[in-house]
Structure 1
Amino acid sequence: MKLEVLEKDCYYHIYNRGINGTTIFENDTNKLYFLKQLAKYSKDKISIFAYCLMNNHFHLVIRLNSEEKEVTQAFSNLFNSYAKAFNKQINRTGSLF
């Protein structure tokens, strides 16, 4: 599979879901924490134009303000941070996304 190269100043639809459709947001508190972490890790790297958070997946419409490597690392940090917090809350281990 060929990976798409993300380019600065371009717009993208980013989405992710829980492994096997697993719930990734059990309540509004989880969703607010995810948005807080998204703002923290993506600051100045992307602009967010729209988002939709559902119980087992999410969608983002973004524009890259930084180079792909910085944005990729920011999303990796976001997903790891959120998965650790969510797993701790529900007393589980393993990957979430």
Structure 2
Amino acid sequence: MPKNYYPPLEAGKTYHIYNRGINSTAIFKSDANYRHFLKLYDEHCSCVVDTYAYCLLGNHFHLLVKVKDILPTYGDLYPQFSQGEVNKKVSQSVEPSRQFSHFFNAYTQGFNHFCSPKRTGTLFERPFKRIEVNSDAYFSNLVVYIHQNPRKHGFEYDFRIYPYSSYNSHLSEKKTRLDREEVLEWFGNREEYRSFHEGEVDDKIEDFIIEE
């Protein structure tokens, strides 16, 4: 099995998904890039995952997601498959890993097109990295780790005011596509959520993540 092999995402499982630009190149250069990334993520991936947390930083990103227990079929997402000749994919469940690949490809095409001068080729490292989250402690520490990343990488010392993470979305009362209530219930309430973020994450979490 290749060293960089990652098994496909499985229904009902929770994952830390993260990746960076190829050769550590920037994948976000403007506010518009960040917003477009989230828009495409919603379009391509919200059908197959529930999102708990995220953070986007310059040349990499982090996502904490749970693959839906029941996945849509290709016929659900792409009605054109059911038109004309019978297509075997109509009744097949959508593959979460493939949806993420479609998402990355769509973002890359837009990013390359608007770069000046225009760039070509792959933007993200392949395959995208994923780790199954299979313990309560890992989940709790991972939420905080993801939100504290702006401080870790020198983007913003006060991670609480960094605009491209889900930290404040969890505290807000505004409508969100995040699975906010489950995250807040996990920590107990908003105050416990804030308090947990003031601490340091378990050093062991670093053993699972390779960003540099």
Q: TM-score, normalised by structure 2?
A: 0.43
Matching of residue 82 in structure 1 with residue 107 in structure 2? yes
The whole-number CA distance in structure 1 between the counterparts of 2:8 and 2:105 is 22
More strand by share: 1
Q: How does 1:7-86 map to 2 (within 5 A)?
A: 7-65=10-68, 66=71, 70-86=95-111
Task: Kindly report the root-mean-square deviation, in angstroms, between the aligned alpha carbons of the 2 structures.
Answer: 1.8
More deviation, 72-81/3-12: 3-12
Task: Report how far residue 69 of structure 1 moved.
Answer: 5.9
Partner residue of 1:95 out of 95, 110, 122? 122
- Give identity over the alignment, percent: 42
How many residue pairs align between the two structures?
A: 97
Whole-angstrom distance in 2 between the partners of 1:93 and 1:5: 27
Deviates more, 1:64-73 or 1:6-15: 64-73
Instruction: Extract unaligned runs of 5+ from structure 1.
Output: none
Larger radius of gyration: 2
Q: Which amino acid aligns with 2:39?
A: K
Q: TM-score, normalised by structure 1?
A: 0.91
Any unmatched runs of 5+ in structure 2?
73-92, 125-212
Residue pair 2:8, 2:97 contacting (<8 A) in 1 also: no
Higher RCO, 1 vs 2 (CA within 8 Å, ≥6 residues apart)? 1
Residues 60-96 of structure 1 deviation map (CA, whole Å, 9 limit, x = unaligned): 0000013996111110110000000000010111110
